[in-house]
Amino acid sequence: MPDTDPTPTAPGGGLVPAPLSIDGPYRSAVRLGEDTALAAAPGTEDTARWLRTTLGAAFGLPLPPGSDGATDTLALTLDPALAPEGYRLEAVTRWGVRITGGSPAGVFWGAQTLRQLLGPHAFRRAPLAPGVAAVVPQQTIEDGPRFGWRGMLLDVARHFLPKDGVLRCLDLLAAHKLNVLHLHLTDDQGWRIEIARYPKLTGTGGWRERTKLGHRASPLWDERPHGGYYTQDDIREIVAYAAQRHITVVPEIDIPGHSQAAIAAYPELGNTDVIDTTSLKVWDTWGVNSNVLAPTDNTLRFYEQVLEEVLALFPSPFVHIGGDECPKDQWTASATAQARIAELSLDGEDELQSWFIRHFDRWLADRGRRLIGWDEILEGGLAEGAAVSSWRGYAGGIAAAKSGHDVVMCPEQQVYLDHRQHHSPDEPVPIGFVRTLEDVYRFEPVPPELTAEQAAHVLGTQANAWTEVMDSQQRLDYQVFPRLAAFAEVAWSRLPAPADRDYQDFTRRMAVHYARLDALGVDYRPPGGPLPWQKRPGVLGRPIDGAPPNV
């Protein structure tokens, strides 16, 4: 196992995200070979299985069970004195590699670091050649995350991503030490989760007849029907796969806006006294839709029954109910909605939306869960106990934190990964502001306006990948990577203030990290711009000029 030959790698082996501290690396090194044993303490079994699946496959290593303390051993241990997601990785030529975590999650994040230290070969599914060495320079790494919520939203409602694509996404999140997948399951353009009590939600609501290509102002259409959904067994598999990687899957079921797919399936959910809801189909274009849920007892019972099945599938303490972009025009025109406002002595339609949210906040709380919604849930009064996803900028998150509510920062101007990465006309379907890799790296989740006590309500941060103009895994890869690597460092590492961050050091480490992404088959945007097959000439986007506002 000891190896004193190899020249050491650059400090940290080009680790992304950057760890707290590194002692080394030194010229001596540890070599994992056919005789290397894997010793897993109770509670670390998932990481042991993951190591045998990944490193075992990449280097052809059997990694048989062993005991901690023996030489030529990769040992996984727990130490409650460490922070829950913290870890210590020690590579010592005398005996091998030990990963100690403050919890099973900490051990797993340490294993992700070990994989990076072993080089791009470690990210392949089979050895490139017999005897490819698995070598770790001698060093000690101490590490742990800044935030407890380090997430990405994956929008599978606008363009469906089959189950295997979601599992691949979970692997990519884990490789970057991200621990939340916010799964956007329902919207006007599709309902993506099987609900046994209401089969039309997927039978009708899961498919649209055609799809707008590009921005909603584009004249182009894809005339093929588009859709799909996850069975409940698919969801169980996704959740279990995520849990093995210490990732929480947070489901989003949109209420009361973004609901045309549900209304197309069950017209009684809509404002039937305003429009003929039986004529509605699953929406085939993009934007803010005026067809919203009716504020009736029938609607409440329907979504309670939907959420009963959702809770049985997702153990996440948080359930996202949307709450955003809910036009009030139909409620203004609806005698039923106006009667509800009068009955409850509400102050207009904004408070009617708040009533919707408060109802499900109480309903979820009674079942031991917490509601989280987009920052529009602040309108009309924030539901007690609700958390806020601050997307329209920082303002909603600041207001919520100052009121004592928990916040996940995901401002669209900074970390919406569907926004374009360069001002060049070659960018495929350019949407929104230019958000370069460096822009994302300099994103700061905690606004300076917050006191230390208020800042403690910032649970963490999340990058959002909305898929209106991302119709394939290839397009998703291009928009998300490499910027998700920069975002992961913002979420994990304790970085200086944005202006003081060492972006040149990050780009040096990214030069190493690109080879890992290559080995994983990620179709990322190259630093020099899109490759010919990544361009989408002629498909209209909606670029916004200038720097994004800091709101």
Catalytic residues: 187, 258, 325
- Cα separation, 186 vs 259, whole angstroms: 7
Exposed, middle or buried by CB within 10 Å (0-12, 13-18, 19+), for 315? exposed
Which positions ≥6 away from 433 have C-beta within 8 Å?
A: 413, 419, 420, 544, 546, 547, 548
CA dist 534 and 473 (Å) reads 12
| Angle, alpha carbons 338-342-346 (nearest 5°) | 100
Burial of 94 (0-12, 13-18, 19+ CB in 10 A): exposed
CB atoms closer than 10 angstroms to residue 352: 22
8 Å CB contact between 179 and 17: no
Give yes or no for a contact between 361 and 368, defined as CB atoms under 8 angstroms apart.
Answer: no
How many C-beta atoms lie closer than 10 Å to residue 84's C-beta? 14
How would you classify the pairing of strands 29-32 and 2-3? antiparallel
The Cα 335–Cα 532 span in angstroms is: 55
Do 47 and 67 contact (CB within 8 A), yes or no?
no
Chain-centroid distance of CA 413 in Å reads: 17
Distance (Å, rounded) from C-alpha 293 to C-alpha 330?
A: 9
Cα angle, residue 131 at apex, residues 130 and 133 outer, rounded to 5°: 135
Q: Which helix (H) or strand (E) holds 180?
A: strand 180-184
Non-local CB neighbours of 14 within 8 Å, separated by 6+ positions: 116, 508, 509, 510, 511, 512, 513
CB of 215 closer than 8 Å to CB of 541: yes
Residue where the block lists tokens 């929406």:
283
Q: How far apart are CA 73 and CA 241, in angstroms?
A: 27
